[in-house]
Amino acid sequence: MIDKDKPQPDSQESSPSGTGDRAAAERLIRQAGRYLRLLHITHEAIISFDEDCRIVIFNQGAESLFGFREQEILGTPVYELLCPRFRSAEKHRLDVLARIARDNRIGFHTNRITCRHRGGKRFPAEISLSQTRLPGGRLFTLVVRNATEQVRAEEELEHAAHHDELTHLPNRSLLNDRLVAGIARAQRYQRKLGVVYLDLDDFKPINDLHGHETGDCLLQAVARRLSDTMRQSDTVSRVGGDEFVVSLEHIKGEDDALAAAMKLDRALRQPFSVLGKQFNVSASIGIAIYPEHGRDPATLLRHADEAMYAAKAGGGEPRLYAQ
């Protein structure tokens, strides 16, 4: 029997489950506080967003990386941080990312997301995404890293693999790729393609008499002049010590290839000024035409090389390959 005059304890306060709920809530608040403090002391760019992809946390690292202040970016869709052109061109990819953000339980990592700074400058980024389940839903957290330096290093390695170290012209490997593509275009559009092989005359005595530094500078000057002489659609490459190859696209036949070779010959015969010295340079030039003289890069290069040796032996003007 309950004594009505005796004060009864509050049922919610005395309930074990009520005490447990308050303790759990307090622990969550403490954890959230520690989490937020951690987010704002790390140098990593960290962005958290809700299930509607709207930003709810934007730490100091993110402010530094993107140029936005937290107060002005909160509530904004996270995809607004991506470059507009990327959003348009990669809509399908963004849809996939959104789905992963909602469905993935363990997180994921990707790279080459194109982001934009507040000032409009674009930069490549790597992102890692994870999710946290909360009593009211889920919180998604992005760690964003600027990948500009990594991309630059990769581009430098890629350039070094396909370009001559001294002249920065395409090397034999890249030339072969360009020839394969050029032959395919010539075949598709019923056009011709020319391969012009140049070997500088009497270059070794220049090295022996004036030193390798002078020789290297002369080769660089020759490379620049050849590139300046040809069209942007043509490929000028260095394939050996003093050997260069030019791939000619959009030509009608032998006459166009011979005209281009004569133009190169005249350009090289103009004096070069290198390290305070004047040099007169000439080259032996051979020409092969697709498809008459070959239907693959190796055959065209071999026949152009043979024509070049015929020109060197004859001591005359550029020569077409003679079958």
Q: How many CB atoms lie within 10 A of CB 128?
A: 16
Q: Where are the alpha helices (DSSP H) in the chain?
A: 11-14, 16-41, 60-66, 70-73, 84-89, 91-103, 148-162, 172-188, 203-210, 212-229, 254-268, 297-314
Asked if 155 contacts 148 with a C-beta cutoff of 8 angstroms, the reply is: no
Measured CA to CA in angstroms, residue 287 lies from 11, 98, 179, 313 at distances of 100, 56, 14, 15
In this structure, what are the phi and psi dihedrals at residue 293, rounded to the nearest 5 degrees? -105, 10
- 50 annotated active-site: no
Residue 245 pairs with which residues in a beta bridge?
197, 237
Measured CA to CA in angstroms, residue 260 lies from 194, 234, 245, 292 at distances of 9, 10, 12, 18
d(CA 122, CA 192): 41
Which of the residues 164, 199, 242, 305 is marked catalytic? 242
Active site residues: 242
